[in-house]
């Protein structure tokens, strides 16, 4: 991509159960004028149904990037990450763990399960905006994603 090329629009799946964090993430993308398509699911089992195009998600778009919280109902984020990275059809999708935990064991376990990045959610809104902007810039402008 050259500086004159329009930005590539990517499909992002946000797996987040906290409605406040979903709202902040949406606002952060809007504030940063990110035009990527953001799909949201609120638990681990629904995330896997979305990714496998099961049931209500038969026509769901394949995400180019997954933003995954660890503390999820029905199936924890680490379990979702393990399933994604062990599934030959899904394992190439980059997964950014975006969570409130800064516990070393969560960081290590996430990378052991082949997370592409681990980001602790900032509490401050302006810092959160900056984090979302940096994730977007990196995965849209810097990284070559599969199929793009």
pLDDT in tens, 11-25: 899 999 999 888 888
The answer to whether residue 1 sits within a structural domain is: no
Which pTM was predicted?
0.89
- The backbone torsions φ and ψ at residue 137, rounded to the nearest 5 degrees and listed phi first, read -60, -40
The answer to whether residue 62 sits within a structural domain is: yes
* CATH number (domain holding residue 37): 3.40.50.2300
Separation between Cα atoms, residue 80 and residue 44, nearest integer Å: 6
The answer to whether residue 69 sits within a structural domain is: yes
The answer to whether residue 3 sits within a structural domain is: no
The answer to whether residue 42 sits within a structural domain is: yes
DSSP code for 144: -
DSSP code for 103: -
**SS3 label, residue 82:** helix
The answer to whether residue 35 sits within a structural domain is: yes
Average pLDDT over residues 20-31: 82
Q: How many domains does the chain have?
A: 1
Residue 74 belongs to what domain range?
Answer: 11-140
The answer to whether residue 145 sits within a structural domain is: no
H/E run at residue 56: none
For every residue of 8-43, DSSP letters joined together read PP-EEEEE---HHHHHHHHHHHHHTT---EEEEE-S
The answer to whether residue 134 sits within a structural domain is: yes
Separation between Cα atoms, residue 8 and residue 78, nearest integer Å: 29
Which range has highest mean pLDDT (1-5, 79-83, 97-101)?
A: 79-83
pLDDT for 68-89, tens place per residue? 999 999 999 999 999 999 999 9
**Cα separations in angstroms, 30 against 12, 23, 36, 98:** 14, 10, 10, 18
């Amino acid at each position: 991509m050259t500086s004159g090329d329009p930005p590539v629009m990517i499909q992002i799946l946000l797996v987040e159960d906290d409605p406040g964090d979903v709202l902040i993430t949406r606002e952060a993308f809007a504030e940063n004028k990110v035009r990527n398509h953001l799909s949201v699911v609120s638990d681990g089992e629904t995330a896997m149904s979305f990714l496998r195009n099961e049931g209500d998600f038969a026509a769901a778009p394949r995400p180019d990037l997954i933003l995954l919280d660890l503390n999820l109902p029905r199936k924890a984020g680490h379990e979702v990450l393990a399933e994604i990275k062990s599934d030959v059809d899904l394992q190439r999708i980059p997964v950014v763990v975006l969570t409130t935990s800064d516990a070393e064991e969560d960081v290590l376990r996430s990378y052991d399960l082949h997370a592409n990045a681990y980001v602790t959610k900032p509490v401050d809104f302006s810092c959160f905006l900056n984090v979302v902007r940096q994730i977007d810039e990196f995965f849209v402008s810097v990284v070559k994603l599969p199929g793009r």
